Amino acid sequence: MDPSIRALVAVEGLDAFDVQRALPDDASFTLLAMTDGVDETVRAIIKETPDLVVVACQGREDDRSLHIIDAAHRAAPTVPIIVLAAASPNGFLRRAFEAGAADMAIFPQTKEQLRFAMSIAIARHPGKGAELGGKKDGRLICVLGPKGGTGKTLTSTNLSVCLAQRGERVALIDLDLQFGDVALCLGLPPEKTVYDLAQSPGALDWDKLSAFMAPHSSGVHTLIAPRRPDQASAVGAELLREIYSILRQNYDWVVVDTPPGFTAEVITSIDHSTDIVMVGMLDSLSLKNTKLGLETLELMKYDTDHIYLLLNRAHSRVGISQSDVEAVLGRTPDVFIPSDREIPRTVNEGIPIVVARPQSEPAEAFGRLTDLLMGESVSTVQPVPALSGVGDTSSSAAAGSRRRLFGRKG
């Protein structure tokens, strides 16, 4: 008997009933779901973890199916996608393959031929296990800020979306287990949370974990914080270690938003991270706490080359000069985020500023942070108006930062 296939079928511009009739109907074929549109398909892929996705469509170049193929490929790069198209003009074919299709079959097709095409696509595709074997683990970025309200959640959400906009596979974890607000900032309903994951029976593996990740329209998959503070204690260090290990195998980037301070779960996250983004604000109390945070990382023997310093609300005219900042912190911040009225507005709307106002100064600054982390060269360092010369990297204290600002490879 043929090995079994669990397939998900997205239908675009064809009669769903006709498509269903064309699918294999033997016991070794399971139709997990038939979906309509990008969002429904991505949700179903994450929920059902199919062996294969079939996108049944007209095959026109302006077809919405190309978006479905692209989104499905981003949501689950290890799952092969077969396009079942009523026609296959050259332009469509090329774009379907570019979007991530593994194979193409003409609709209608006999059940046997379609079954064969599916088996070949699965056999040829590297598959979950095979792909992970030779693949490097993704980077884990811990977004820290010793003080509350400095802009950690703002940074982790915008950084994650920026990375996804560049085609990276990104998981975002809300580790502010008591008062997490990543879901609010991204406009996601808190349907399943890390608490629900902790409560669910059985061993943790990728299939199980992925079912608890909420997909955002940018492509970022989010593990949402518990709904109530009393549920926080259900998430222990052991579970976090397992979560990080599995996520790093399945994403290019795992971004962790943290609560203020060095709590036990924050320390576990630091221990498992490859990079840290330290978020400070431009006032003397926050700078002092940021300094203490940097010193704590030093005590933990964290590699300073992998600590990125972000100064938020850097536009404020608060009478602190560049040399004050350098004197307190011992280094120049890598990225400055100005104060901007649009930021609270985008937080309230649940749309990150890099999506809502991509041309704004804060959005561009998050783009520069993304450049730094991805190791691309950053040609312009924006001076901050309130801090005369803060963008000038000529002082010795700035030497470490300057090296990164001009193209460190991660």
Ligand X SMILES: Nc1ncnc2c1ncn2[C@@H]1O[C@H](COP(=O)(O)OP(=O)(O)OP(=O)(O)O)[C@@H](O)[C@H]1O
Binding residues (CB under 5 A) for Mg ion: these are 152-153
What is 183-212 written as a DSSP string? Answer: HHHHT---SSBHHHHHHS-S---HHHHHTT
Q: In this complex, which beta carbon is closest to ligand X, that of residue 326 or of residue 340?
A: 340
Residue 384 makes contact with ligand X by CB under 6 A: no
Residue 313 makes contact with ligand X by CB under 6 A: yes
Residue 149 interacts with, from ligand X, Mg ion, none (CB under 5-8 Å by kind): ligand X
Q: In this complex, which beta carbon is closest to Mg ion, that of residue 153 or of residue 193?
A: 153
Rounded distance, CA 354 to CA 240, Å? 29
Least Å distance between CB 316 and ligand X? Answer: 9
Report which of 354, 371, 223 is spatially closest to residue 308, judged by C-alpha positions: 371
Q: In this complex, which beta carbon is closest to ligand X, that of residue 61 or of residue 349?
A: 349
Q: In this complex, which beta carbon is closest to ligand X, that of residue 150 or of residue 160?
A: 150
The answer to whether 254 and 139 are in contact (CB under 8 A) is yes
Q: Which of helix, strand or coil describes residue 224?
A: strand
Binding residue for ligand X, selected from 260, 280, 333, 367, defined by CB under 6 A: 260
Binding residue for ligand X, selected from 4, 106, 113, 149, defined by CB under 6 A: 149
Residue 282 interacts with, from Mg ion, ligand X, none (CB under 5-8 Å by kind): none
The answer to whether 237 and 263 are in contact (CB under 8 A) is no
Determine the size of the site formed for ligand X (CB under 6 A). 18
Note the residue count of the chain. 410
Binding residue for ligand X, selected from 343, 353, 373, 390, defined by CB under 6 A: 343
Q: Which residues on neighbouring strands pair with residue 30, listed in sequence order?
A: 6
What is the side-by-side order of every strand in the sheet holding 307-312?
Answer: 214-215, 221-223, 170-174, 253-257, 139-144, 275-281, 307-312, 335-337
Q: Which residue is nearest to Mg ion (CB)?
A: 153
Least Å distance between CB 269 and ligand X? Answer: 14
Q: Which residues on neighbouring strands pair with residue 35, listed in sequence order?
A: 10
Least Å distance between CB 166 and Mg ion? Answer: 24
Q: In this complex, which beta carbon is closest to ligand X, that of residue 78 or of residue 178?
A: 178
Rounded distance, CA 241 to CA 244, Å? 5
Residue 344 makes contact with ligand X by CB under 6 A: yes
Give residues in contact with ligand X (CB under 6 A).
Answer: 145, 148-154, 176, 260, 312-313, 337, 339-340, 343-344, 347
